[in-house]
Amino acid sequence: MRRRHFLQGAAATILIADGRIWRLAAPQEIGEGPAFEPWRTWRRDARDGPLALVHAAILSSNAFNTQPWLFKVSASRIELYADQKRNLGAFDPYLREMCFSMGCALENVSLAARAMGFRPSVSLPPGKLALAPRPPEPELAARVELSQAPRHSDELFEAIPHRHTNRDPFDAAREVPSKFVHSLAGLATEATDVRLFLFTDESDRKAIADVIWEASERFLSDSEVRRGTQAWYRTTPEEVQQRRDGAYVGESSSLLRPGQPLSYRDLMRTGRLFGLIAVRDRYDRAQTISAGRIWQRAHLLATARGLAARPANGAVEIIDHEQRLQLEPKTTAKLAQFTRDASWQPTFMFYMGYATIPAVASARRSIQDVLI
């Protein structure tokens, strides 16, 4: 079985099981119904105080739209918990992508805090990534202490309600500006345990797309891995509205556009910039969360500057798979040829470019569903 990629809500793309995509008519940015209201109303509904920051957090990037976060809110503190029962099974055996998603939510909390008159002080509990406990229990991922400060809003904060993953082909003829590449590279310069590698050369981009494609094919040929994601498929618009999470895989009422389908590999090759986020220790929880913060900032920066972005993480996911099954770590060596430094361990990969079809929002649970 080949990897399937879908847009949630009013879908713009369907990727059928033979690994080829068909483009649909361009949708609105935000779908209709309560499952999409958090995107429209987050600024209006967010009252002054720490609860406003949670409204921003639930709009964060996250793996397979599992939205695996819970929040405990007081007058001067927000605690972010990983809701470990919302895991992806063998697809994410060490909960690395779950913790990465925690970092994305944490970054939105921090951005919103500064914009709303708080100074956020973040602490991350130490620990190693591990298999989900049985029964799975919420686990503290981060604590944010809040103190009063002057309001400071920037382009990343303003981009929060417009950041959506774009799974359609990008404009392969349009180069990513060097000014943007420079700004993107600057996002990780102050981090000690996280590094951002960027690739714009055509030969590098093609080689990286090949590694991701081959890894994704092998990874998703495993039936246990596929079962890990099946609980998150949403097959009807009614189910999307009811569950308000997961990946929408139902048929759209939009008409298919004429034209030839693209393979996932060719789809990736329409990106004009590839990125790789690496850490010193792939299985360190705090470093994984910090890497998630960098990705959230990167995606928001792309959104603010008019670019599209999409995760392409199959080559990292199969590293976890190889470790869990004690297989030869073939993919680790392949990625080391791009970093040229084996001490930096890839934890997330993505590509960017200019959209040909606007991205759409995914469903989101309400704030009442994520408070503890």
pLDDT in tens, 102-140: 999 999 999 999 999 999 999 999 999 999 899 999 999
Across the range 258-279, mean pLDDT stands at 88
Q: Burial, 298: exposed, middle or buried (Cβ in 10 Å; 0-12, 13-18, 19+)?
A: buried
**For residue 328, is it within any domain?**
yes
Q: What is the pLDDT of residue 44?
A: 77
Residue 95, domain extent: 13-369
- Give the whole-angstrom CA distance, residue 59 versus residue 35: 12
**For residue 8, is it within any domain?**
no
**For residue 194, is it within any domain?**
yes
Mapping DSSP onto H, E and C, the string for 170-197 reads ECCCCCCCHHHHHHHHHHHCCCCCEEEE
Q: Does 315 have pLDDT greater than 70?
A: yes
Across the range 1-24, mean pLDDT stands at 37
Q: What is the pLDDT of residue 347?
A: 98
Across the range 189-194, mean pLDDT stands at 92
pLDDT confidence of 4, banded at 50, 70, 90? very low
**For residue 1, is it within any domain?**
no
Q: What is the pLDDT of residue 21?
A: 39
Q: Report the SS3 class of residue 139.
A: strand
- Tokens read off for 88: 């992806």
Q: Burial, 179: exposed, middle or buried (Cβ in 10 Å; 0-12, 13-18, 19+)?
A: exposed
Q: Does 16 have pLDDT greater than 70?
A: no
Q: Which carries the bigger pLDDT value, residue 148 or residue 44? A: 148
pLDDT confidence of 6, banded at 50, 70, 90? very low
Across the range 306-312, mean pLDDT stands at 98
- Per-residue CA distances from 359 to 77, 164, 235, 303, 321 (Å): 34, 6, 20, 10, 30
| Residue indicated by tokens 């309001």 | 151
Q: What is the pLDDT of residue 22?
A: 35
- Per-residue CA distances from 101 to 61, 142, 232, 289, 309 (Å): 7, 12, 16, 7, 16
pLDDT in tens, 20-69: 333 333 457 889 999 999 999 887 766 668 999 999 999 999 999 999 99
Domains: count for the chain? 1
Range in 32-41, 46-55, 251-260, 291-300 the model is least confident about: 251-260
Among the listed residues 2, 3, 34, the one whose alpha carbon sits nearest the alpha carbon of residue 312 = 3
Q: What is the pLDDT of residue 27?
A: 53
**For residue 2, is it within any domain?**
no
- Give the whole-angstrom CA distance, residue 287 versus residue 280: 8
* Residues in a beta bridge with 139: 82
Q: Which carries the bigger pLDDT value, residue 261 or residue 177? A: 177
Among the listed residues 262, 314, 354, the one whose alpha carbon sits nearest the alpha carbon of residue 14 = 262
Across the range 328-353, mean pLDDT stands at 94
Phi-psi region of 246 (alpha: psi -120 to 50; beta: other; left: phi over 0): left
Q: What is the pLDDT of residue 250?
A: 73
Average pLDDT, the chain: 90
Cβ atoms within 10 Å of 255's Cβ, excluding its own: 8
- Tokens read off for 345: 């361990």
Range in 15-19, 90-94, 215-219 the model is least confident about: 15-19
Q: Does 141 have pLDDT greater than 80?
A: yes
Q: Does 271 have pLDDT greater than 80?
A: yes
Q: Does 2 have pLDDT greater than 70?
A: no
**For residue 243, is it within any domain?**
yes
pLDDT in tens, 214-232: 999 999 999 999 999 999 9
Range in 37-46, 184-193, 251-260, 300-309 the model is least confident about: 251-260
Q: What is the pLDDT of residue 46?
A: 62
How many percent of the chain have pLDDT more than 70?
Answer: 89
CATH number of the domain residue 33 falls in: 3.40.109.10
**For residue 7, is it within any domain?**
no
**For residue 213, is it within any domain?**
yes
Q: What is the pLDDT of residue 251?
A: 58
Angle at 221 between CA 216 and CA 224, to 5 degrees: 110
Q: What is the pLDDT of residue 47?
A: 65
